[in-house]
Amino acid sequence: DGGITQSPKYLFRKEGQNVTLSCEQNLNHDAMYWYRQDPGQGLRLIYYSQIVNDFQKGDIAEGYSVSREKKESFPLTVTSAQKNPTAFYLCASSIDRPGDTQYFGPGTRLTVL
Amino acid sequence: QKEVEQNSGPLSVPEGAIASLNCTYSDRGSQSFFWYRQYSGKSPELIMSIYSNGDKEDGRFTAQLNKASQYVSLLIRDSQPSDSATYLCAVNLFYSGGGADGLTFGKGTHLIIQP
């Protein structure tokens, strides 16, 4: 089955820790995205990547970092510089351009203790 | 300023009736429009995409696009309790000023179908 997987489903972080969220897709999509969703809010773009070894900041990139070493993988690191990281994190992919249809993974819910 | 606006609701509709969800967007140059459904605690799933003015039908769902008035709507016929969810409108806003590209999402409309 083709799709997008995210792990872990739930993640707890202590203050001052960096954590990495995994996103893998086997859809052969070139573009991948990370969004953050807070309660009652829409999705806000953190980072996106259109090709391997290249990525662009989204609207709320501060305190986050990404890498794109493989087409299938786009991990997101939430650093200690992100002051309010508790949120639902969603990974998505599209065939190539950002304006294409985006398909979402199941999400990771991050809670700071 | 990139904006996609939706009424947050809740919108309450009796079972079997037509649910009408609306979305307005800020940029006249936008080309791609999407409706996603999101159940509580789950990720968004694509319902429909629309690119041209007019109506597009898929089963009980109809998307309507009016680029001149800058709005896109979603109609759900014969509403079922399982349609109760938050519906997100997403637009590929034409953004010529640099910065982030991609889809801009509205905050969503919470739809409740009453049995």
Distance from CA of A56 to the nearest CA of B (A): 7
> In this predicted model, what pLDDT tens digit does every residue of B67-97 receive, in sequence order?
999 999 999 999 999 999 999 999 987 654 4
> In this predicted model, what pLDDT tens digit does every residue of A49-108 receive, in sequence order?
999 999 999 989 999 999 999 999 999 999 988 989 999 999 999 998 777 899 999 999
What is the pLDDT at residue B27? Answer: 83
Residue A14 pLDDT > 60, yes or no? yes
By percentage, how much of chain B surpasses pLDDT 90?
Answer: 80
CA nearest B101 in A: which residue? A98
What is the pLDDT at residue B18? Answer: 98
What is the pLDDT at residue B64? Answer: 98
* Nearest CA among A11, A13, A48 for reference residue A31: A48
Tell me the C-alpha distance between A11 and A98, whole Å.
Answer: 28
- The H or E element that residue B38 is part of is strand B33-38
Chain B residues contacting A via beta carbons under 8 Å: 4, 8, 31-32, 34, 36, 42-46, 49, 88, 90, 92, 99-103, 105-108
Tell me the C-alpha distance between A2 and B55, whole Å.
Answer: 30
What is the pLDDT at residue A1? Answer: 62
Strand partners, B109: B87
CA nearest B32 in A: which residue? A99
> In this predicted model, what pLDDT tens digit does every residue of B22-72 receive, in sequence order?
999 988 888 899 999 999 999 999 999 999 999 999 999 999 999 999 999
